[in-house]
Chain A
Amino acid sequence: MARHSYEEENHFRPIRRVLIGLLVLCLVGLFLLWRIDSPRVERLRAQIVEQIVPGFDWLMAPVTGLVRMGEDFQSYARLYEQNEELRRELQQMKAWREAALQLELENARLLDLNNVQIDPELTFITGVVTADSGSPFRRSVLLNVGAEDGVQDGWATMDGLGLVGRIAGTSRQTARVLLLTDPSSRVPVMIQPSGQTAMLVGDNSGAPRIDFIESLEQVRPGDRVVTSGDGGVFPADLLAGSVALGTDRRFRLRLAADYERLEFLRVLRSPAPRPVKEAAPIDGRLDPGGEDAPIAALDEDSIDG
């Protein structure tokens, strides 16, 4: 019997070989094409994702809802404890609210004195998170707004409170948000109150690393971290989170955005990035290689860090 199938296999072998060979060639070709002309294949990928993921929305939305309800239900077990905790927090919040109101008044007065215009270019589009990256090595989410709504690559994305990531890849009706925790995410930030610039580097853990800090002594856990807007890619002064000291004794970011519950995200309309121009000579001293100033500055940072 087994011999029978073996003979049969022999019989089909030549055709099979050709077919398998063709398949292998196609796949190798696709991978090479991706490596050579990544944007084109990534656009194809965005289109495939757009075809498939919204098609299963009717299934995914209720399942997601049910699982979230289940998680909420589990927390009923600790209802009493939570209630007490909330009361305590509310008490504290009331105190903070007073402080905030006073600060708001003061701030309004100072702004008035300085005659400051809040940047009018920062309007936003709100999108709903429809899918996760699905892979343990990538941190990104899919939004249900896309190029049709005017979303462009590189725009910043926030939840109600803090920075979530940037747009990396759009198709007609969906856009992918690269989270700050993704290994390929890099965002220039500023640490307040010391005013030091640093780089926020995602490494697939829950808290991105803060790298290239000039003088580590001036940074303390708990300091606020906001985007610096260096390089003109990201708007400045978006809250990212606060500094925390990781178990590996490196500074990390405690995210202000609630990554556990990303549902509605704001995509901030940013002005188009300025084209990179040759840097003007600094202090009348001529730049020998004609290098761009931002690149030179980055190099210095990396040496110091």
Chain B
Amino acid sequence: MAERASFHIWALRALFVALTMALLLRGLLPLNVGAPQIPGPDLILCLIIVWVQRRPDILTAPLIAATVLLADFLLMRPPGLWALLVLISTEFLRRRAYRTERTPFALEMGIATLTIGALMLTQRLVLTVFFVDQPPLTTELLHFLTTVAAYPVVALVSIYIFGIKSQHGDPDGARF
């Protein structure tokens, strides 16, 4: 029983890594390169927030840090900063996920919006303090809005297609 549970967890971890790699590579495809467009949602961030609230046992802290750091390197972001912020915010979400029984989706949506907003704001502040060039505020706001809009879609897909559901009270669930 325990073996099967741990196999299941590792399978889901592999699925997470595969999904993030697919999202990263999709972004790297050389299609309409210089075309101005509305900045797309940060789907990897949505995925992490959805999963860590439902199955904190799958997304361990090192896994999150490693995937986001890889994304930092590939997507030409300041390396380490976004990974650091995502790591810290998921630690809060993780603690909350262990302690609360059930969260209605409206509340979850609110938490996700707050988290995404806080993440982007903090990143902007830190980059300002360190005198790093930044994208214009309007682009970043659009990025925030599209990410928040994409969140319910990512949540639905995760729940109904990948079967990521909250498993409260599962004593076999290995904790990191």
Contacts from A to B (Cβ < 8 Å): 1-2, 4-6, 8-9, 12, 16, 19-20, 23-24, 26-31, 34-35, 41, 44-45, 48-49, 52-53, 56, 59-60, 63-64, 67-68, 129-142, 179-181, 183-184, 203-206, 255, 259-260, 262-263
- Contact yes or no, B84 A2, CB < 8 A: no
Partner of B74, one of A9, A52, A179: A52
Given contacts A260-B33, A260-B35, contact A136 B65 (CB under 8 A): no
Q: How far is the CB of B103 from chain A (nearest CB, A)?
A: 13
Q: Which of B3-11, B20-28, B46-54, B157-165 participates in binding chain A?
A: B20-28
Closest 5 CB pairs of A and B: A1-B169, A259-B34, A136-B39, A134-B27, A30-B80
Q: How far is the CA of A28 from the CA of B81 in the complex (A)?
A: 7
Contacts from B to A (Cβ < 8 Å): 24-25, 27-37, 39-40, 61-62, 65, 69-70, 73-81, 83-84, 87-88, 91, 98-99, 101, 130, 132-133, 135-136, 139-140, 143, 168-171, 173, 175-176
Residues from chain B with a CB closer than 8 A to the CB of A206 are 34-36
Residues from chain B with a CB closer than 8 A to the CB of A27 are 65, 69, 80-81, 83-84, 87
- Contact yes or no, B80 A28, CB < 8 A: yes
- Contact yes or no, B133 A2, CB < 8 A: no
Chain A residue nearest to B39 (CB atoms) is A136
Given contacts A60-B28, A141-B33, A204-B36, contact A49 B139 (CB under 8 A): no
- Contact yes or no, B80 A4, CB < 8 A: no
Residues from chain B with a CB closer than 8 A to the CB of A136 are 37, 39-40, 135, 139, 143
Residues from chain A with a CB closer than 8 A to the CB of B143 are 136-137
Partner of A64, one of B30, B132, B133, B175: B30
- Contact yes or no, A260 B88, CB < 8 A: no
